[in-house]
Amino acid sequence: MAEHFGDNLKLLCSHYRSIAEVCRKLAINRAQFNKYLSGQSRPTAYNLKRICDFFGVEAYELSLPGEQFASLIGARSSDQPARALGDPLLELVQPLRQYSGSLERYCGYYFEYANCMSVPGQILLSLVHLREERGSYLFERQERQEPARGGSGKADDWVRCRYLGAAFNLQDRLFLIDYESLTGNEMSQTILIPSFKSRINRLNGLKTGVSSGDLRTPACTRVVWDYLGADINRVNAYRQVMLYSPDDPRIDADIRQRLASAHIRDGLFEID
């Protein structure tokens, strides 16, 4: 881990204005943090968890070779400007940044409720973090499900998914596109109806993707984003990320109604 940790941590810090800003946000001593960057010292398990949560990465990812790590987080090193400028995919999506309106008021943490594509009849609760980074709006969505029968049942054995994506505000609709970053084997798209109230509460929308079953069946589900705030206790929130039965008392009536409210017009599936 020490071989690549310092360089990968430097790359993450380059997304911020200064090392001092990162240390301030993490509440880690600057001198100690410099030892992490230089490879002289390795963070304690507690500090490593805080660093990973802050940057939205996994501990094992920080041990990856530099080029692989940079590719994983969608970054380009400073000595590769020509490649970045000549990337046709970047050129394709670049206009969306110009067309997209601000998403600043929507930044923060959400619980996402959706009818589970993999386990019909169950409600999947996920944790979403939408943030602004260098003029773009990015988000991370954490999911987890209990293992199949026969497993140990321990939290470490749960099936975990981590989606990374970009968000755009186009013509009074919020478009979010993401991919599963741990396996790289799927993408999904979410379209949300924005809130025109002064205070963000809950957002309705639709999500398309595939089930995790062997057939990888394409699916579409209603989805509700429940705003938690700009700064939350992520550990407590993550403990609630799991599958729920529709009649579980922890799923309130308003959520159940929003997930069930839909109608067909002119052959198209719409939400109220």
Contact 144, 242 (CB under 8 A): yes
Does 67 share its domain with 109?
Answer: no
Contact 144, 156 (CB under 8 A): no
The 10s digit of each residue's pLDDT in 251-263 is 999 999 999 865 4
**Whole-number pLDDT of residue 211:** 75
Does residue 92 sit within a domain? no
**Whole-number pLDDT of residue 168:** 95
Select from 54, 82, 110 the last residue of a domain.
82
Does 36 share its domain with 145?
Answer: no
Cβ-in-10-Å burial (0-12, 13-18, 19+) of 107 comes to middle
Which domain CATH number covers 19?
A: 1.10.260.40
Whether pTM > 0.75 for this model: the answer is no
Does residue 93 sit within a domain? no
Number of domains in the chain: 2
Which domain CATH number covers 220?
A: 2.40.128
Contact 126, 112 (CB under 8 A): yes
Secondary structure of residue 183 in the 3-state scheme:
coil
Pick the closest to residue 135 from 108, 162, 167 (CA basis): 167
Half-sphere exposure of 5 (CA within 13 A, CB side): 20
Whether residue 270 is predicted with pLDDT greater than 90 in this model: the reply is no
| Residue 211: domain span | 98-271
Does residue 90 sit within a domain? no
Does 78 share its domain with 128?
Answer: no
**Whole-number pLDDT of residue 272:** 52
Name the token pair of 248: 């579980």
SS (H, E, C) 99-110: HCECCHHHCEEE
In this predicted structure, which of 85-89, 162-166, 188-192 has the lowest mean pLDDT?
85-89
Does 174 share its domain with 267?
Answer: yes
Average pLDDT across the chain, whole number: 84
Does 148 share its domain with 252?
Answer: yes
**Whole-number pLDDT of residue 240:** 94
In this predicted structure, which of 14-28, 151-165, 215-229 has the lowest mean pLDDT?
151-165
**Whole-number pLDDT of residue 243:** 93
Half-sphere exposure of 116 (CA within 13 A, CB side): 20
Calculate the CA dihedral of residues 93, 97, 102, 104 and round it to 10 degrees: 70
Does 11 share its domain with 130?
Answer: no
Does residue 87 sit within a domain? no
Does 55 share its domain with 30?
Answer: yes
| Separation of alpha carbons 131 and 140, rounded Å | 9
Does 217 share its domain with 260?
Answer: yes
Select from 52, 82, 112 the last residue of a domain.
82
Residue 147: band (very low, low, confident or very high) from pLDDT cuts 50, 70, 90: low
Whether residue 271 is predicted with pLDDT greater than 60 in this model: the reply is no
| Separation of alpha carbons 227 and 202, rounded Å | 6
**To the nearest whole percent, how much of the chain has pLDDT over 90?**
44
Does 183 share its domain with 73?
Answer: no
Whether residue 98 is predicted with pLDDT greater than 70 in this model: the reply is yes
